[in-house]
Structure 1
Amino acid sequence: MPDIQDEDLPVVAHKPPAASAGTAIEAAIDPDLPIIDPHHHFSSHWGGYFVEDLRADMQSGHAVAATVYIQCGHAYRADGPEALKPVGETEYVVAQCAAAGRVGKAGRMDKADRGIAAGIVGHADLRLGEDVDEVLAAHIEAGQGRFRGIRHSGARHPAFKHGVLSRPPAGLYGDPAFRKGYARLGAHGLSFDAWIYHPQIDEVISLAQAFPDIPLILDHVGGVLGVGPYADDRPRALQEWLPELKRLAACPNVRVKLGGLGTATFGFDFSQARRPPDSEMLAALWRPYFEPCLELFGADRCMFESNFPVDRSAGSYAVLWNAFKRIAQAASPDERSALFHGTAAATYRLAPLVAIG
């Protein structure tokens, strides 16, 4: 299929939930189950979401002990060397955590300061090759003990472009310059978050195989498309995705995040629904995506993620985690422990934390 220029493509943008759709209201299921949320953002996009919004969500009924902040291109440095501009996002997150620790009710802030963005994943252009060392070192210093890894999006499809993160070049993860930079992650003890669309999983497999000692986290179950050529053929997308997922599961250094299905590219649009989805409905819709991951990777290589604020399009923070708990209902206690906090803690090297609230 020939490549198409960006200006010819429809923009598939992340959307905040439509006001008319409303939000289901539910009490937390199993409210004492400790949770580490390994994927959220702060941003003025998606209706806006900042540290005070996350704090409120963390106290909405579930025992959320800690979170991992994932880059989304927010608060980059406005000046200075281009390569170092993404360090501004790490600086911003640390500053927000510090501010959160200085406001609010006494006796709660020390735990909140440790728990919010206890891990940070930032961005660096790995095509810098060995020169990316300067950027990685700057992130680590700015992170003040929180910095854990890099995300460099490879998400690209000739039928459309991602609407928020910049569109990467084709074959990014196989680019020799990118791989030289990727190799430096190991030297700094960092992991890699891969955000791609499901037809690109073979690129992730190749990367994981080439660098078996670098932990690689597949975001959002591998970006199974439900828009563009897959808008009316969701079964085809799943049929293409599953064999590649099986191949990826053979790479022991890979972990998978179970979530992100509120992202527009998955094609679930609840804005026209007669009533907002509840956790039972979400669990039924999302099982075909999560259960194959659980079967192939096992609970100790899977972790539920909120992907907030993007996944507000599906429901509230409380409803989302209820849906995850419904999906994991048949899991053993050890498996539930791994899915809701153990895998995330091990992957992002987080210390045990006490739930906020």
Structure 2
Amino acid sequence: MASMIPPPGMTAARHIAIREAWLDQHQEPILDPALPIIDPHHHIWDQSDQRYLLPELLADTDTGHDIRATVFIQCGSQYDMAEAPERRPLGETRFMTRVAEAAEGGRTRACAGIVGLVDLTLGDRVTPLLEEHVAIAGGRFRGVRNRTAWDASPLVRSNLESPPPGPLPLPALREGARRLAAMGLTLDVWAYHPQLPQVLEVARAVPELTLIVDHCGGPVGVGPYRHDEVFATWHAAIKALAACPNVMMKLGGLAMEVGGYKFHEAALPPSSEALAMAWRPTIEACIEAFGAGRCMFESNFPVDKGMCSYPVLWNAFKRLAAGASASERTALFSGTAARVYRLTI
């Protein structure tokens, strides 16, 4: 078993450590500042070595881009440890609802959508737990994400806590997903690229479910994986997923350590041009497969903040979408997220 001690420069949760002074070394003008944006994927937490709560989120969203609303995605934050294990994530939904209430009336409607955690393998207990999350969130609960990212290599980790190889292949998860779909809720899935055939089976088994693939389908670039070697396998899996009309794609998450990019090791932080150049093959392949109407750019902050700043990240996305039509840009930056997560801007 690999050591659970994070490498130097990583947080205890195995994310690249954020260095504000390093990020501040590169500033650039905001591109197309009037373009409305929904950030459909970020986290909020207060960890022993990293604080990212509403003030930190709003400090990032208020850096020049027109961030109208955001969607919080489960991350094991603020669990109620006095409860039974399956009920502990209710604490996260409760806390994020308070965060959303505190942000109401501001420039950015933070946590306008909340994606929490309900273990979809719980059988009959799935529906009442979902109903509790919905009731707590006051109209903001949009879906769930289970812990699913796993690889046999101990070098492929995006969190200190790694689940067993399940639960994507389990019949119980598919039954839970059917109950999720029956309530009009979505399923976010964070999986590494070798797991995408398992994601495809879930999408095919529950066609009534809106399934959202996080972080470009998790192309891995560390451990036994290299970008140029895995691209063809990843690309084939992405095209297979795109054949399922109930599957959506989030464009982002490429600044995690597991992706294999090394911008955080340089003396200066990356420019948006450098990010766009590195990520273009992946992003363009996703948009070509799914179409702009089923894709949405995401920040994945604060996880991706270890490698780039918020304004530079969104500048990179705008560069990547420079050749898109006006309607496609609207879809990529706000329209798809608004439709999928039932938000208004």
- TM-score calculated relative to the size of structure 1: 0.90
Partner of 1:36: 38
> SS where residue 271 of structure 1 aligns?
helix
Q: Which amino acid aligns with 1:197?
A: Y
Worse overlay, 152-161 or 301-310:
152-161
Worse overlay, 17-26 or 60-69:
17-26
- Percent of aligned pairs with the same amino acid: 46
2:130 aligned with 1:133, yes or no? no
Deviation at residue 22 of structure 1 after TM alignment: 3.4
Q: Deviations over 1:288-308 (max 9, x none)?
A: 110000101000000000001
Q: Deviations over 1:208-246 (max 9, x none)?
A: 00111110000000111011101xx32112121011111
Q: Which amino acid aligns with 1:22?
A: L
Mark the runs of 5 or more structure 2 residues left unpaired by the alignment: 8-13
Deviation at residue 324 of structure 1 after TM alignment: 0.2
> SS where residue 301 of structure 2 aligns?
coil
Deviation at residue 40 of structure 1 after TM alignment: 0.4
Partner of 1:55: 58
Partner of 1:116: 110
Q: 1:25 to 1:241 in 2, by over 3 A?
A: same
Q: Deviations over 1:94-137 (max 9, x none)?
A: 11222345xxxxxxxx1447x11110000111110221112111
Contact kept, 8 Å, 1:41 with 1:70, in 2: the verdict is: yes
Deviation at residue 7 of structure 1 after TM alignment: 4.7
Q: Deviations over 1:197-217 (max 9, x none)?
A: 000100011000011111000
Contact kept, 8 Å, 2:297 with 2:317, in 1: the verdict is: yes
State which of 275, 282, 295 in structure 1 corresponds to 2:288. 295
Partner of 1:202: 197
> SS where residue 277 of structure 1 aligns?
coil
Partner of 1:248: 241
- TM-score calculated relative to the size of structure 2: 0.93
Partner of 2:161: 166
Worse overlay, 62-71 or 156-165:
156-165
Deviation at residue 172 of structure 1 after TM alignment: 1.5
Equivalent residues, number: 336
Partner of 2:253: 260
Q: 1:137 to 1:166 in 2, by over 3 A?
A: farther
Q: Distance in 1 between matches of 2:116 and 2:248?
A: 18
Q: Distance in 1 between matches of 2:183 and 2:40?
A: 20
Q: 1:9 to 1:159 in 2, by over 3 A?
A: farther
Contact kept, 8 Å, 1:17 with 1:271, in 2: the verdict is: no
Q: Distance in 1 between matches of 2:70 and 2:158?
A: 25
Partner of 1:154: 148
Worse overlay, 263-272 or 273-282:
263-272
Q: 1:11 to 1:246 in 2, by over 3 A?
A: farther
Contact kept, 8 Å, 2:188 with 2:213, in 1: the verdict is: yes
Partner of 2:97: 94
Mark the runs of 5 or more structure 1 residues left unpaired by the alignment: 1-5, 102-109
> SS where residue 28 of structure 2 aligns?
coil
C-alpha root-mean-square deviation of aligned residues, in Å? 1.8
Higher relative contact order (CA 8 A, sep 6+): 1
Worse overlay, 91-100 or 219-228:
91-100
